[in-house]
Chains A and B, each alone.
Chain A
Amino acid sequence: MSDGLRAFYGQIIALAIALALGALIIVLIDESPINVFMTLVRGAFGDQSKIAGTLLQTTPILICGIAACIGLRGGMFNVGIEGQLFLGGFAAAWVGFALPLPAGLHMVVGMAAAVLAGAAWVAIPAYFRARYNTNEVVSTILSNYVAVLLTSYFTIFLFKRPGGWSETPPILPTAYLPELFSFSRLNWGLIIGLALAFFVAWFFRQTAKGYSISMVGSAPKFAEYGGIDVKRQGFLVLLASGAVGGLAGGVETLGIHHRFMEGFAPGFGFDGLIAALLANGSPIITIFTALFFGALRNGSLLLETDTSASREIITVIQALIILSVSAQVLMKRRGDSTAGERRWKF
């Protein structure tokens, strides 16, 4: 059996263990696992609009997943995608309602603002990670909390729409991301996500730059001896990852909500990170894992109304999947060296 095939089977077994544990928890909260599972499937793929809804949920998870992939490939844990998404979403919305521009250009400028905001938000953690080796996991997690509070502040204190809701004024129609079909809010965001996934995959596979990033990610010492400026590259990797995280926010506000709302995208950043981890940093596989999580999310909406289970049960299942996959995949790669090497560099 080839290594790849064995890894694939390992992945499947891990998935089965996680689902079994998930079923056990569902039994514990007094629900039937089969009922919950069927409801999830019906909620995710039951009819045309349900499928469109699943794809709608998949889009931000996919883009956030690609952001995470870029970081993971370069040896960086960008856990701040959630925050970059919020900042990107707000920046795009601001361009949308405050800067009247011609149609088409307006949308592009909005997207660019989202990308810049995402990159800017990760720039300080990225700088300190590159220059002083400051742990980027903690700094990006903490900046998530600041990002959510900051955008809430902008929304409620500076740009609140008159009326009761905690949201900005609606963006001008010139900045809308075009919709794909008439029956759903599904929009070009999905196409952007898919194109980005293929582009990033091509970049890592075919270009010298992509190869050097992967090399820094997998063997930083070797890369340094090979003459790569590891610090500079680490900085740029995090910046790119943050930029894509910001893009995800832009797609959400310009494509779906057409305004910025307080707490508009709960957990997409984390779902994306999990999807990328499950795909082992491959953008192409992330398309499928993001679809899987998108389906779970959309299915969980029906779960809330049709059963007594809470929709958060799917985050339990997601976490269990990651835990069981992490146990077996990473075990193989590490080999049997002393535990000392695993020390995280602070």
Chain B
Amino acid sequence: MEILDKLLNVALLVATLRTTAPILLVALGGSFTTKAGIFNIGLEGQMLVGAFFAVLGSIWSGSALIGVACGVVAALVFALAFAVLVVSFRANEVVVGLALNILAGGMTISLMKAIFGTRGSIVGQKIVGLPKVQIPGARDLLGSWAPLVSGYTPMVYVAFVAVPFLVLFYKRTRLGLYIRVVGEKPEAAEALGISITRVRYTASLLCGLLAGLAGAHLSLGYITMFTENMSSGRGFMAVAILIFSAGDPLKVLAGCLLFGFADAFSLRLQTFGFPSYLILAVPYLVALVALFALSYRSRPRIIRETLESMKKMLSVETKPAETGNNLPR
């Protein structure tokens, strides 16, 4: 029992939420492209340049916020390049995504050597990290459970708050609906006069925005440093989650929590003397097992749902126009 107590406690839950945040952010970003019918394997690279430029911006400006902005801009540039090649030039999305990931890896290391003259990592006092948000009154209300809701860096809150927003976005807003239609029935979208190109560009850029935030969280959140390839496959795990969740925000959240837990739990196991190499492999194995186990999902049902909600929205929209046309006669 004592061992169990050591393994499962509030601290573990807190650690789970913390490790979930970056992968949740990048996976939610990927949900835009997934819903828009783009297979975006370039998340990893977007996250990596986000992390690098966030550190760069933080050092240059002395402000964590400007650092985050720099990271986001860099990720957006990569997202734009992805969109130009995949949407406008119709290049193969896997090839472009992989090449952008390789570009991100090579570019960050080259720039690191050119600017800082070092290999490996950037560390130092000059990097200003994100502050921790203390929610007032949390300690009084929750006592020892307070760390569960208070004291995270801002991106953790952003990540979890984004989930309900995305649910509403896809259900209630026109852009959300357009993204879904473009992804599931592009022919229908075309027939309705929706610009597939514009919707896919928008989805790619929204994805870049969140991937950049995820990267900034990696390098300015709980540790303030940048190391070579520090995204270490989180972007790919996010893609695995996106495949079995079909980009649905709630399922994305569930998948990410699973990873966050696996990550946090395996770090705990390390203190019990399990070989670190095997423990580091746990999150990747969880991703693989989940991917394989959930790989017979039914797609037709989702398409039908979207078409129905589309019909509803269109009928609401077209009615006034029809009566308007009929009146003069």
Residues of A participating in the B interface, judged by any CB pair closer than 8 Å: 25, 29-30, 77, 79, 124, 128, 132-135, 137-139, 141-143, 145-146, 149-150, 152-153, 156-157, 270, 273-274, 277, 308-310, 312-316, 318-320, 322-323, 326-328, 330-331, 334, 338-340, 342-344, 346
Contact = CB atoms under 8 A, between A and B. Distances in A.
B277 A328 contact: no
Interface stretch (B2-10, B63-71, B289-297, B315-323): B289-297
Interface in B76-95: 81, 85, 87, 89-95
B48 to A, nearest CB: 13
Contact of B278 (A30, A153, A310): A153
A344 B284 contact: no
A143 B284 CA distance: 7
Interface string B92-117: 11111011101101110111111000
Given A138-B236, A308-B113, A346-B246, 5 more contacts: A135-B291, A146-B281, A310-B112, A313-B106, A326-B91
B159 interface: no
B107 A343 contact: no
B269 interface: no
A331 B243 CA distance: 26
B246 to A, nearest CB: 8
A277 B291 contact: no
29 contacts: A128-B291, A137-B94, A138-B243, A139-B292, A141-B236, A142-B287, A142-B288, A149-B277, A150-B278, A150-B281, A153-B275, A308-B114, A309-B110, A309-B113, A313-B106, A314-B106, A316-B106, A316-B107, A316-B110, A318-B106, A319-B102, A322-B98, A326-B99, A327-B89, A330-B89, A338-B190, A343-B37, A344-B39, A344-B94
Interface string B215-238: 000000000000000001100110
B126 interface: no
Nearest to A31: B114
Given A149-B280, A330-B95, A339-B196, A139 B291 contact: yes
B291 A138 contact: yes
Interface in B31-65: 37, 39, 41
The majority secondary structure among interface residues of chain A is helix
B288 A143 contact: yes
A136 B187 CA distance: 27
B285 interface: yes
Contacts of A137: 39, 41, 94
B187 A338 contact: yes
B275 A157 contact: yes
A25 B87 CA distance: 25
Interface in B233-262: 233, 236-237, 239-240, 243, 246
A343 B91 CA distance: 12
Contacts of B147: none
A320 B91 CA distance: 14
The majority secondary structure among interface residues of chain B is helix
Interface of B: 37, 39, 41, 81, 85, 87, 89-96, 98-100, 102-103, 105-107, 109-114, 119, 183, 185-187, 190, 196-197, 200, 232-233, 236-237, 239-240, 243, 246, 275, 277-278, 280-281, 284-285, 287-288, 291-292, 295-297, 299
B89 A331 contact: yes
Contacts of B85: 323, 326-327
A138 B102 contact: no
Contacts of B98: 79, 270, 273, 322
Contacts of A313: 106, 110
Given A124-B292, A137-B94, A274 B102 contact: yes
B114 to A, nearest CB: 4
Contacts of B186: 338-340, 343
Nearest to B232: A145
A142 B292 contact: no
Nearest to B285: A146
A29 B95 contact: no
A274 B105 CA distance: 15
B3 to A, nearest CB: 23
A145 B99 contact: no
